Chain A
Amino acid sequence: MAKLLVVDDEKNLRALYQSELTRDGHEVVVALDGQEALKLLEKEKPDLVVLDIRMPGIDGLETMARLLSRENTLPVILNTAYSSYRDSFLSWSADAYVIKSSDLTELKTKIREVLQARSEEKGANAR
């Protein structure tokens, strides 16, 4: 069971992701902005972060940069209403870029893929 940190400033969406991803078998911790996410990083040690981009305060891309500067192997999935950030080179550090949809199939698939890839990498490195 993986621990996911979901960062989104919309209360209703946090509730949705929490229900749905928990149901998908993950442990879900939520943060309402970048600041809180950075605080929770140390405490919760998540296996993967799902990041909204447009948020008050520090935005998702900057949050990602700060998260990665502390832990540069942390898998990050950008989950946003905007497709435009996909073209930003800053987004390339993310392991996946998902456009928000009421159908969470894509998000769930990406989470699985990224976690899978990471565990294979770890396995390879361990060997």
Chain B
Amino acid sequence: MDDTVHQGATEVVGREIFLDLLDRLPQAVIQVGEDGRIRFWSAGAAALFGFSSDEMVGSDLERLFTPALSTAGEPARLLAHARAGGETRDLETERVARDGRVLSVLLMQTPLRAPDGSYQGALQALTDISEQRHLLRQLERRVHQLSIIKEIGEALHGTMDLNEVLHLILIGATAGPGLRFNRAFLLLADETGQSLEGRLAIGPSDGGEANRIWQELSQKPMTLRQMLTRYEGSLAETNRPLNELVRGLRMPLDEPGQLLPRAIASARAMVLPGKDSGEPDRAFAARLGAPAFAVAPLSARGRTIGALLADNAITGRDIQPEDLEMLQLLAATASIAIDNSRLYAELASRLSHLEAAQDEARRSQRAVARAERLSAIGEMAATVAHDIRNPLVAIGGFARLLLADTPDGDARRAPLEVIVEEVNRLEGIVNKVLDDAKPVSPAGRAVQVNRLLEEAVKLLDHELSDGRIVVRLQLDPGVPAIDADSDRLFEIVLNIVRNAIEAMPDGGTLTIATLPLSDRVEIRFGDTGSGVPDSIRERIFSPFFTTKPDGSGLGLSVARQVVFEHGGSIGVDSVPGSGSTFTVTLPTRIEADHGQAAGC
């Protein structure tokens, strides 16, 4: 402590003021002698390192270095630099504090010389930058995380196909440029929204396969999109056992205490099983074959749409808080992507329906316009033809009468024959015009017979239960849709069922059965009523025929009319006293003009 800091400061007072000044600096100020031992230890140094001046003065400077830096010869190199007259500025390095903490410091060093120029050691000022370093590292990590999420987000942006989106999410969760989980699983809400079911998984099924895939990936660095293109086909194949596992997974959403409701309630990704996890969580983990797994809920527009699960079942690496943070971020991006692709698909499907409907509307509009034109012409022709017919009948009829009264050889026969012949010709023309003007049969539409019968029974529910009638439906699911006017068909079903209700005044059983035949559909209505007597069997389909005091007698005749219009047939089998079975047979396709022909 004799001739230290400033050789020029010979006065003790000056030296003390100088040292006092150094003590007041916030930095750690250390004076090192030419032998490498500490000569001065400022109050700032004591605060930073936790060593007092008494402890440190006389100690070797090397005491403050980390073992790594000491081994690398850093203390000697630093002092040699000063000895050679070199200044050191803003050197970022590390030192060890008394409690063993490694401190990040910014170092400045300047050599000290005696007036004769001889080297006397160095003065060091160290600023603690541990906090800044820490923040910087955090910032860097954050930037890295965001860049990963950004890349996944961009990849997701490139597609609207749900299947691709799901694959990309899982690739993002597992791949090297992504979150690096070993395996990832996607569960999506089922249509009830009550539970999630497993959809897709990615991950090696064992360590061997894991090594092979990861090696391949590290040799050829790829973007996520490239990975998708490269692996999309083979993913499903290589992950078959895993995907079988995931498709068997179901997670209820509405049972409190289950892991997913908890994760949703906390709106955060979590690692399970946790400290407070019960048996279900452990059982689920065991099913996945992982000691622990991370789960992040997926939600869009206020609804839970699924969950993203990930684990490190192959490497056994612990899931770090950062991993969880990343999974949370990925889940947010994934939710939007899934929702978007679904909305897009819905939109596309609606659009194509709309386009089809528009095409259909245009077509039928043209057809209607044409039909209306033809119909107007036809009606006019028919009106004229009818108006002509009555006078023709009178003229021709009387001409025939006169002709019959005129004896052979009479000169009046020839002109009368001309009248009869010409009237015949005119009547022929009238008939032809009227035939051409006949209305076309109703346009056929695909009618689901089974559904129509169910609806009819539903509509008559009250009448049936009031009449204490049990309905048994034996509908063959193989019955095809048939060409028919559904309103009129519905009407006849109602008529036949009502007829059956009336036939069972004391209640009974109505069995309605359908049966697909080769090009026809058979519908049977079997009641347990009084039956139809043979004597009136033929007439029950005639209009105004009724055996009931309040019946109009039109129900079954309307039914027969409609069935005929559809080119079908209707009949009844009956055993008096034990019931009747009405059998309606309808062709699956209406032949052109069949209705007309059958109606005659």
Residue ranges of A at the interface with B (Cβ–Cβ < 8 Å): 10, 12-13, 15-16, 19-20, 23, 54, 65, 68-69, 72, 81-84, 86-90, 92-93, 99-104
Q: A20 near B401 (CB under 8 angstroms)?
A: yes
A90 to B545, CA, bound (A): 11
Q: Nearest CB to that of A64 among chain B residues?
A: B544
B106 interface hit (Cβ, 8 Å): no
Chain B residues 370 to 402 lying within 8 A of chain A, measured CB to CB, are 386, 389-401
Q: A10 near B394 (CB under 8 angstroms)?
A: yes
B30 interface hit (Cβ, 8 Å): no
A90 to B542, CA, bound (A): 8
12 new A-B contacts, CB < 8 A, other than A100-B389, A102-B393, A103-B400, are: A16-B397, A16-B398, A81-B390, A83-B434, A83-B438, A89-B557, A89-B560, A92-B543, A92-B560, A93-B542, A101-B393, A102-B420
Residue ranges of B at the interface with A (Cβ–Cβ < 8 Å): 386, 389-401, 420, 423-424, 427, 431, 434-435, 438-439, 541-545, 554, 557-558, 560-561, 565, 596, 599-600
Q: Nearest CB to that of A90 among chain B residues?
A: B543
Q: Nearest CB to that of B385 among chain A residues?
A: A81
Task: Give which listed residue, A69, A81, A88, contacts B386 with CB less than 8 A.
Answer: A81
Q: B401 near A19 (CB under 8 angstroms)?
A: yes
A residues within 8 A CB of B399?
102
B198 to chain A, nearest CB (A): 60
A residues within 8 A CB of B544?
65, 68-69, 72, 93
Classify the interface of chain B: helix, strand, loop or mixed. helix
Q: B393 near A13 (CB under 8 angstroms)?
A: yes
- Could you name 18 residue pairs across A and B whose Cβ atoms are closer than 8 Å? A12-B390, A54-B386, A65-B543, A81-B386, A81-B389, A81-B393, A82-B386, A82-B434, A86-B600, A89-B554, A92-B543, A92-B561, A93-B542, A99-B431, A100-B390, A102-B392, A102-B394, A102-B400
B residues within 8 A CB of A83?
434-435, 438
Which of A87, A92, A102 neighbours the largest number of chain B CB atoms within 10 Å of its CB? Answer: A102
B25 to chain A, nearest CB (A): 115
A36 to B398, CA, bound (A): 25
B residues within 8 A CB of A10?
390, 394
A12 to B435, CA, bound (A): 26
Q: Quick one: given A13-B394, A89-B557, A89-B558, are A102 and B401 in contact (CB under 8 Å)?
A: no
Classify the interface of chain A: helix, strand, loop or mixed. helix
Task: Give which listed residue, B427, B545, B599, B600, contacts A102 with CB less than 8 A.
Answer: B427
A104 to chain B, nearest CB (A): 6
Closest CB pairs A-B (n = 10): A102-B396, A89-B561, A12-B394, A87-B599, A16-B397, A81-B389, A102-B397, A89-B557, A93-B543, A100-B393
B residues within 8 A CB of A12?
390-391, 394
Q: A103 near B396 (CB under 8 angstroms)?
A: yes
B372 to chain A, nearest CB (A): 19
B207 to chain A, nearest CB (A): 81
Q: Nearest CB to that of B388 among chain A residues?
A: A81
A99 to B600, CA, bound (A): 12
A residues within 8 A CB of B427?
101-102
Q: Nearest CB to that of B599 among chain A residues?
A: A87
B residues within 8 A CB of A72?
544
Which of B400, B423, B435 neighbours the largest number of chain A CB atoms within 10 Å of its CB? Answer: B400
B515 to chain A, nearest CB (A): 26
B592 to chain A, nearest CB (A): 16
Q: A89 near B401 (CB under 8 angstroms)?
A: no
A101 to B543, CA, bound (A): 27
Q: Quick one: given A87-B596, A93-B543, A104-B400, are A13 and B390 in contact (CB under 8 Å)?
A: yes
Task: Give which listed residue, B386, B401, B423, B431, contacts A16 with CB less than 8 A.
Answer: B401
A7 to B557, CA, bound (A): 25
B50 to chain A, nearest CB (A): 111
Task: Give which listed residue, B386, B543, B599, contacts A86 with CB less than 8 A.
Answer: B599
A15 to chain B, nearest CB (A): 8
Q: Quick one: given A101-B427, A102-B399, A102-B424, are A87 and B600 in contact (CB under 8 Å)?
A: yes
A107 to B599, CA, bound (A): 21
B568 to chain A, nearest CB (A): 14
Task: Give which listed residue, A54, A81, A102, contacts B423 with CB less than 8 A.
Answer: A102
A84 to B542, CA, bound (A): 18
B108 to chain A, nearest CB (A): 113
Q: Nearest CB to that of A105 among chain B residues?
A: B400
A residues within 8 A CB of B600?
86-87
B residues within 8 A CB of A104?
397, 400
Q: Nearest CB to that of A10 among chain B residues?
A: B390
